[in-house]
Structure 1
Amino acid sequence: MGTKSHLVFIPWPGLGHLVSTVELAKLLVDHDDRLSVTVLIMKLPFDSEVDSRTKSLAASVAAGIRFVILPSRNASPDTSRVPFLAHFIESHKADVREAVADLHRCGSPRLAGLVIDMFCTTMIEVASDLGVPSYVFFTSGAAVLSLILHLQSLQDEHHMDLTGLEGSDAELDFPGFRNPLPAAKFLPSEVFMDEGRRLLLSHALRSRETRGILVNTFTELEPHAVEALAGLGAPAVYPVGPIVNIKVESKKGPEGNNSPQGFEILEWLDQQPAASVVFLCFGSLGSFNEDQAKEIARALEQSGCRFMWSLRQPPAKGKMEAPSDYANPAEVLPEGFLDRTAGVGRVIGWAPQVAILGHQAIGGFVSHCGWNSTLETIWFGVPVAAWPQYAEQQLNAFELVVELSLAVEIKMDYRRDLAKGSNFVTANEIEGGIRKLMEGEEARERRKKVKEASEKSRKALMEGGSSYLSLARFIEDVRRH
């Protein structure tokens, strides 16, 4: 059997990052039984569900994976998001060192390395102190990784002032994209904010210091971007995706409990014709104000399309909290909307997204284009109407619509953090996107193309597939060093 090797994973504690990290750990221990993994969990002070979520994840994993919840830390009184997040990670360094020392004292196998989330690169210093290699897990795609590395190079090596791109009409050529990218519209907002840019590009710089970067993509989806990474001075790149949790319990609620709502949702879908329902869902942090919610409702009613809409209530202004379900969604919808659409649609709160996307009744997905959601929709062969919200989602939307032709646009350059005037999408715009997604010859051609991408995504993970072989290369590197 040979000697055992142990990897310690340090995920960013946000739900999307945590779930894909655990799925990667599963892939690794399934691939090679000489590997074991410990996942260190940091508790965000405003995340009340981390304990129940960790129990749920622990119950779903095989032998060889364990979880350690680190002590809670009040990182900083600073209420602005970027400094808080940076201080939060920094405050856990000593806890990570202690947790790794405890593993050694408990007789864990040889520590072979730390696998660090793309937002936790300060932990590379801990790996150096321990004398072990570090690897980055990049939870987004290869095109975004290539762009961030290129921006870091433009700033640090070519001394370009990136703030000059804000508000400009410049269309720039980026190595990971085939098409020129309108910089002001599609670069992450953080690039134009001093603190956010400093942090983002410092993660890129530190990633270059590691032994390798695991990327949640597959070569057949992003061949141009994967190839471009070699010319950007990246360390070894391992495309190991699509890392998606497709075996989740379809009827469980957000805390892992059986949900009556989950049963009702799927029973309603069972009664709908194949590929007839458009699903609207904007991720664990996605929400709209009341005016925009009303506009979505008008668009759905005008389209006459069957729909399932996950409508969430925004957190109070200035609060770093996730959206919640409305006690009474009728209060923020046009009067009589729920009655008038009762025969063709459902407005729900939390959504069992994977179960819904995998249902044969779903014909299209109005999505925020978060990367996990993007990979899930490709896995199930469902075309997308792109309506990004924040972070790198505008880039993902550009890639899906312009680069890959797997999606249509509702508003590709929408940014949740802009002033309302330039950030309001009308019912007519939304309706147009939904019709383009669901109706006509173009929609049929697009659906066919997405189905082909779906088949490639599944083959990539099978024995002999591109991601399977990439994972084997990573394991070989871990065991060799």
Structure 2
Amino acid sequence: MKKAEAVLIPLPAIGHIVAVVEMAKLLAQRDDRLYTTVLVMHPTVDPNTINYMESITASTLPDRMRVINLPRVEPITSDIEPNKWLRSLVEGQKTHVKEYVSKIRTQFEMNPNSPRLAGFIFDTFAARMKDVLNEFGVPWYVFSASGAAFIGNMLHLTALHDEQGVDLTELKNSEDELKIPCLASPIPAKLVPSMVFEKDSLTAFLEHARLLTEARGILINTFLGFESYAINSLSDGKTPPVYPVGPIVKHVGDGGDPMSDESTNYRDIMEWLNDHPPLSVVFLCFGSWGSFKEKQVKEIAIALEHSGHRFLWSLRKPSQNDEIQSPSDYEDFQSILPQGFLDRTAKIGKVIGWAPQVEILSHSAVGGFASHCGWNSILESLRFGVPIATWPLYAEQQFNAFMLIVELGFGVEIKMDYRSEFNWDGNENIISAGEIERGVRCLMELGSEKVEKLKGLSGKSRKALENGGSSFTWLGRFIQDLVDHLS
């Protein structure tokens, strides 16, 4: 039996690393011929990654799988512009990747029974690393931690820019709608990913999109029963073969939670949920980068108190002086919340810092999820059948919110065009307590038609990865393509 090794390299941000690690697990568990190695670049975008990598190292990975921390690249500091930071990091890590992969090749030459390098799988935004392949003669693929529609959107916007000369930065304040092949409905131009609105980030966006067309194939963290329209639109003869292999999400009990410290906080959260009836709690959580300033926090608090619904609120502290750093936990919630709020809501609500999101979403007490609409969060919510109220913050999350509300027709809207952009422009974009309360009420009193539709999608998400399911089949086709060239 031939042994083949795939090397996976994620974008060094926590959501992307988690998705790629789960992808590597899936491959190693699926086929006894496959060995997988995840190479994690350092420094990473946020400190949560360090905790996650430590927990992964301490946990039991599947046989034939490794997660390797590449040496830290210096001098790369946080004051480099975000778009140039990633380019500098990838360039600095190419030597380390070459060294590691050369060892795999040498091992095979010395012992033909050891795994032979079969190919690379790069994160969508790490594909510049493809240059290291020149001396190895193996294919490379892209893994998208976002959905099929996002990939279609990237390709279409790039075509508008390259072939029709459209200035994409002008979409930022546009009232126009765009017809994009991957979407059945026209989308307001201002909801496309914010990376295209500024010239520096647009350059990087276009570069990554063009690289997509050079890949041997594109693996996407989605499934046919969820994004059939977008997946079918990518079968256009111009896009490399697409493999919808999701939903790839962290499972309950898998361990390796990036913020877990095995403290009493986790037990306290779960015990609190145990005390509440099924589907009665709305969970508010805005991702590893999600936070709000004091004025918006108070509007949320007023909305939750007036709604009367039970709530579990993950409230994080923004970085100071608008620095681009991930949020931290408050030492004292009373310093940011309205006076007396915690006392008045003590019987129906709980405010927490870090949240074990998968474990919370899987709990029977949770009946709704107010979310930033990150793709991992959407897939986790879908897996456990928890409806979403959309409150996007940055990146492609407004696009994802449009997908949920308009394209797919489930969930409710708190806001679809909200952008925090880490308050880089100094302006506060405030959603009123009334708007938030309306969204929470709609979420927790969702009509039976949407509930049944969501239950159906939840079931399809589970079956997709089972033997005979669509993603199971597509993953098999990808593995076959990966090992075929070794003959």
Alignment partner of 1:300 is 2:313: no
Provide the C-alpha distance between the structure 2 equivalents of 1:253 and 1:220, rounded to a whole number of angstroms. 28
Alignment partner of 1:182 is 2:177: no
Provide the C-alpha distance between the structure 2 equivalents of 1:92 and 1:254, rounded to a whole number of angstroms. 23
Q: What letter matches 2:69 in structure 1?
A: I
Structure 2: runs of 5 or more not aligned: 109-113
Q: What letter matches 1:63 in structure 2?
A: D
Provide the C-alpha distance between the structure 2 equivalents of 1:443 and 1:283, rounded to a whole number of angstroms. 27
Structure 1: runs of 5 or more not aligned: none
Of 399, 409, 413, the residue aligned with 2:413 is 409
Q: Which residue number corresponds to residue 221 of structure 2?
A: 216
C-alpha displacement of 1:448: 1.7
Q: Which residue number corresponds to residue 120 of structure 2?
A: 114
Q: Which residue number corresponds to residue 270 of structure 2?
A: 266
Q: Which residue number corresponds to residue 111 of structure 2?
A: none
C-alpha displacement of 1:254: 4.0
Q: Which residue number corresponds to residue 66 of structure 2?
A: 66
C-alpha displacement of 1:30: 1.2
Alignment partner of 1:380 is 2:384: yes
Alignment partner of 1:123 is 2:122: no
Identical amino acids, percent of aligned pairs = 48
Provide the C-alpha distance between the structure 2 equivalents of 1:91 and 1:336, rounded to a whole number of angstroms. 52
C-alpha displacement of 1:283: 0.6
TM-score, length-scaled by structure 1 = 0.95
Q: 1:215 and 1:249, CA in 2 relative to 1: closer, same or farther beyond 3 A? A: closer
Matching of residues 130-169 of structure 1 within 5 Å:
130-169=136-175
Provide the C-alpha distance between the structure 2 equivalents of 1:282 and 1:403, rounded to a whole number of angstroms. 22
Provide the C-alpha distance between the structure 1 equivalents of 2:143 and 2:468, rounded to a whole number of angstroms. 22
Provide the C-alpha distance between the structure 1 equivalents of 2:20 and 2:189, rounded to a whole number of angstroms. 30
TM-score, length-scaled by structure 2 = 0.94
Whether contact under 8 Å (1:299, 1:430) holds in the other structure is yes
Q: Which residue number corresponds to residue 251 of structure 2?
A: 246
3-state SS of 2:122 partner = strand
Alignment partner of 1:464 is 2:465: no
Whether contact under 8 Å (1:274, 1:361) holds in the other structure is yes
Alignment partner of 1:37 is 2:36: yes
Structure 1 residues 285-326: Cα deviation after superposition (integer angstroms, max 9, x where no partner): 111111101110000001011000000001123433211110
Provide the C-alpha distance between the structure 1 equivalents of 2:12 and 2:149, rounded to a whole number of angstroms. 23
Whether contact under 8 Å (2:24, 2:65) holds in the other structure is yes
Whether contact under 8 Å (1:150, 1:232) holds in the other structure is no
Q: 1:282 and 1:386, CA in 2 relative to 1: closer, same or farther beyond 3 A? A: same
Of 328, 331, 341, the residue aligned with 1:327 is 331
Query: How many residue pairs end up in the alignment?
Result: 476
Matching of residues 43-54 of structure 1 within 5 Å:
43-44=42-43, 47-48=46-47, 50-54=49-53
What root-mean-square deviation, in Å, do the aligned CA atoms of Structure 1 and Structure 2 show? 1.7
Alignment partner of 1:430 is 2:444: no
Alignment partner of 1:229 is 2:234: yes
Provide the C-alpha distance between the structure 2 equivalents of 1:210 and 1:124, rounded to a whole number of angstroms. 9
Q: Which residue number corresponds to residue 91 of structure 1?
A: 92
Q: 1:422 and 1:167, CA in 2 relative to 1: closer, same or farther beyond 3 A? A: farther
C-alpha displacement of 1:249: 5.3
Provide the C-alpha distance between the structure 1 equivalents of 2:30 and 2:319, rounded to a whole number of angstroms. 41
Q: What letter matches 2:420 in structure 1?
A: R
Whether contact under 8 Å (2:366, 2:386) holds in the other structure is yes
